[in-house]
Amino acid sequence: MQSGFGGGPERWRNEREVILEAVDSDGDFLDIGCANGHLLECLCQWAQTKGIALTPFGIDYGPRLVELARQRLPQHANNFWVADAWDSQPPRRFRYVYSLYDNVPQVLLGEFVGRLAARCVEPGGTLIIGAYGSRREPAFDVGRFLRDSGYRLAGSASVGQPPVTCIAWVSLEVGRSEQTTHGPARPFGAPLASTEAE
């Protein structure tokens, strides 16, 4: 199972390795909505070829997917949690946090980005938002969305014309104390309501 991607391994790499444009140093990398951990596994391998050591972490609200991610990356099995990214709080912060823009309805996306920055990203860390399209339907322009929502971009990148992958990233300033005015949050791993879990 390869995260539902229809193309072959070369196309997969071509369309996903761009995420590493936002990565310039070793660090812990949290994938919000990690599914079976395939993307994380690949990003860590691809980063290694550039001399960058990433440690994979992931959450997903699908318990069976989290189990698959743990099996895929057994040496990091304790780094995976069942959680809903919308209203949960990790036990710690991460150098890199990656989320697809459509992990929440678009009307909640601006608020979601604020929550991830406030709860998950360490000072000096990077929040990366991604979008995937197809050869028929261009990827959502996450950079434009973030700019229009008032975020100052640290960078953006895309693959293809029209774009099949778009990413944009914001950096959390060192020393900046993020507001946590985003409502109550469950700790990662706390039980989800049965309608939220698989």
Binding site for ligand SAM (CB under 6 A): 3, 31, 33-35, 39, 59-62, 65, 84-86, 100, 103-104
Min CB(62)–ligand SAM separation in Å: 4
Min CB(100)–ligand SAM separation in Å: 5
Q: Which is nearer to ligand SAM, 103 or 158 (CB)?
A: 103
> Rounded CA gap, 84 and 196, in Å?
8
Name the closest residue to ligand SAM (Cβ).
33
For residue 183, which phi and psi values (nearest 5 degrees)?
Answer: 85, 170
Q: Which is nearer to ligand SAM, 177 or 195 (CB)?
A: 195
Q: Which is nearer to ligand SAM, 103 or 156 (CB)?
A: 103
Q: Which is nearer to ligand SAM, 124 or 186 (CB)?
A: 186
Min CB(177)–ligand SAM separation in Å: 25
Cα–Cα distance list, 183 to 29, 56, 142 (Å): 25, 27, 25
Tokens encoding 160: 């293809």
> Rounded CA gap, 63 and 197, in Å?
7
Q: What is the DSSP string of 1-25?
A: --TT--S-HHHHHHHHGGGGGG--S
Min CB(113)–ligand SAM separation in Å: 13
Instruction: Return the bridge partners of 155, or none.
Output: 169
